[in-house]
């Protein structure tokens, strides 16, 4: 049995698609670029934004850097609030608590996302919230911590 269960916030505990899609559209519109179809927008969820703007919008490194900055203009003020609790997460946390999971920890590389967790009943199950880099997450995995997913 694990003593700690670590969850990534963005895309695991919360469904962040709406905020990401709207912020990608905002960025592309502001840069005078066409918006890709929904199927392509789905690919923006998860990978680094720089990579997605380059791969799916044909941008070079300089333009993708600018696109990410414009994306953040919107996401950090409005987009984060468009997150919704992911289906089944409240029930999963209830089960973990009843199974005596000692601590449920929240991980995020984006500090502004911690604000959105307070909007959901999920925060009542959290023992701690951590702002971690991807590299530190890998160290936790090597130490035997369970990070979901």
- Which residues belong to the active site? 8
Q: CB of 74 within 8 A of CB of 22? A: yes
Burial class (CB in 10 A: 0-12, 13-18, 19+), 80: buried
Nearest to 81 by CA among 38, 48, 43, 113: 113
Q: Which of 21, 38, 136 is nearest to 74 (CA)?
A: 21
In degrees rounded to 5, what are phi and psi of residue 131? -95, 105
Q: Count other C-beta atoms under 10 Å from residue 108's C-beta.
A: 21
8 Å CB contact between 48 and 59: no
In this structure, are residues 149 and 13 in contact, taking their beta carbons and an 8 Å threshold?
Answer: no
């Amino acid at each position: 049995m694990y003593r700690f269960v670590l969850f990534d916030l963005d895309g695991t505990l919360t469904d962040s698609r709406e905020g990401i899609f709207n912020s990608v559209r905002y960025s592309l519109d502001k840069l005078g670029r066409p918006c890709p179809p929904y199927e392509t927008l789905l690919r923006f969820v998860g990978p680094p934004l720089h990579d997605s703007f380059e791969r799916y919008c044909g941008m070079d490194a300089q333009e993708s850097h600018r696109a990410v900055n414009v994306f953040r203009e919107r996401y950090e003020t409005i987009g984060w609030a468009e997150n919704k609790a992911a289906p089944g997460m409240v029930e999963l946390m209830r089960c973990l608590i009843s199974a005596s999971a000692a601590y449920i920890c929240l991980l995020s590389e984006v500090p502004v996302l911690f604000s959105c967790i307070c909007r959901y009943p999920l925060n009542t199950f959290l023992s701690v919230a951590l702002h971690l880099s991807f590299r530190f997450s890998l160290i936790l995995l090597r130490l035997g911590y369970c990070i979901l997913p």
